[in-house]
Every structure is written in C-alpha cells, then in structure tokens.
Amino acid sequence: MPLLVSASVSHYGWRASLYAPAVASCMTAVLLGVMLYGSPSAANNERFTAKVKASPADLAQTMRQQVFLNPALWLMAASYFGCSMVRTCLQDWTSLFLFEAKGLPLATSARCLFLWELGGFGGTFAAGAISDKVFGGRRGPVVCVCCALLAPSLAALLYATNPLSVQLIYFWMGICAFPVHVLLGLFSREAVPPAVSSSAGGFVKMIAQIGGASAGYPLGLLQQKLGWEGVYICLAIVSLTAAAAALPLWNTTAAIKIQGRNGTVQDFKAMQGPPSRKPSHENLRSKKLK
C-alpha cells in the first residue's frame, strides 16, 4: 500500500492518496464477500456447542479475578502500550521525519514503509515459530527480546544518513515490532480461562490503543520542544520499558492450549456437513428403555 499510494500521488496528486486505498478496500470487500461462507448459526454440531453456561455472578467474579486483577495481563498491557506507541509513531511520522531530518523524498519514505511492513510479515511468522518450537509455547521471551531490540534500532535510525541504511533499519524494526502485537494478543487469551479470553484480549488491546494514541499529540508536542532527537530517544526508552514489563512473563506458560481455531474453512465444512451417524444420547436412552 505505501508503494501504491506513493505512485498514485506522484502521478495524480494528493487526492489519490485517499482514492487508491478506497479502491483497494472495495476490491478486498468484494473478494471477501465472494470467498467467505458459513455462519455461526450453522454450528449445530455437539462439539461446537457450549456445555455449560456460567451465571452472571460467576462471570463477573471471573472477570474481576482473571482480567482486571490479573498481574500478568497488566504486564502484557504495559508492554503492549509501549510497542503500540513506537509502532504508531513510525507508521504515522515516517514521511515527515525522513523529509525534515534526513532530506529524503516521498518515494524513499514509501520504500521504508514497504520494507517495514515486509519485515513485520516475515518477523511475525518467525516469532511464532520460535515461540512454539524453541520456548515451548512461552510468548514472554520473544516479546521481551523484540521490545529490547527496538531501542538500539531507533537510536541507529536517528543517526543513520545513508538511504539504504535507513531502509534496512526500517526492515529490521518491522521484524521486531510486529510480532509483539500478534503474540501479546494471543498470550492475553491463553493466560486466562476460556470464558473470559476475549475480554482479556480486549482489555490488553484497549491499553495498547491508548499507547497508539499517545504517538499523536503528546509526541507532537515533544517534537516541537526537543526535536526529532528527543522523540526517538523517548521511543527508545519506551521500548526498554516495554521489554522490562515483559521480562517477568519470561517463564509464564499458557493456562489453556489452543488446539484449533473455529471459523476456518474446515470448521464450516464440518458444521454444514451431513449429521453424524453416531447415535445421540437420546436415541441410546430410548433404546435402553425399550
């Protein structure tokens, strides 16, 4: 998308920066509408049906103990806050920073953002594999290391002058920044009972959104007072703080193991397929009575 927007602006003016993503979004919506199928209402299979529903009182107590008073979730939220602040700043301020501080044109900024996203794509896969295979499903070590590696990368970006070096640094920062978002979203759901897993993920994500919002006006004021050097030193400190918050989670293991994901094509095929030939409990009971 950065390359598409940059090329569109160069040929058709600034309005193309709005039209190009809009057209791409519409095309993606059409593709999803054609390719996606199935619905939760199709889940009439016993293995997709909840066995027991908790009472509101039990659910409220579980929420209080497992979500709002859960120290592990607060540490995840703190780490997520810092990483989201860094990621949003790099995403939103890159073009202005590279133009003012480095004198680089818009095309170079677009390439930096493209490499940033590309690094995130590869880094997310690598981080997930390392977390599963090397650390036995523990997410804390990968989150801590990735956040810590962002700090020297930000310092290197501040003092890099060669355009190629700047682009390589963005690629490396994408490798470090994107896995944190994916792993913490998963980690927050694994560390609590299944009944409140979505609430835990939403709670951690809410704190992360506050961190992303802090990359706007607050960092803008900081830039006006201390310049870009002050902004990137601040981001480096935030990255180290996020790593420190994730450090106590180093040996934390998942309370539940996600064996499968509902909502895949295979799940919908199983839901919508012919009913199982295995006799139900009601049929067995009626046969016994006879």
Which pLDDT score is estimated for 85? 95
Task: Determine how many CB atoms are found less than 10 A away from the CB of residue 80.
Answer: 32
Stretch 251-266: mean pLDDT, rounded? Answer: 59
Of 43 and 181, the one with more pLDDT: 181
User: In the chain, which residues fall in CATH 1.20.1250.20?
Assistant: 58-254
Encoded amino acid at 221, one letter: L
Which pLDDT score is estimated for 5? 78
Q: What is the pTM of this model?
A: 0.73
121 HSE (CA, 13 A, CB side): 6
Q: What is the pLDDT of residues 47-105, one digit of tens each?
A: 444 444 556 666 777 778 888 888 999 999 999 999 999 999 998 899 899 999 999 98
Q: How confident is the model at residue 140 (pLDDT cuts 50, 70, 90)?
A: very high
Q: What is the gyration radius of the CA atoms in the chain, in angstroms?
A: 24
Tell the residue number behind the tokens 């590696």, with chain if given: 149
Which pLDDT score is estimated for 235? 95
Nearest to 245 by CA among 75, 126, 122: 75
CATH architecture of 58-254: Up-down Bundle (1.20)
Q: What is the pLDDT of residues 165-194, one digit of tens each?
A: 999 999 999 999 999 988 998 898 888 888
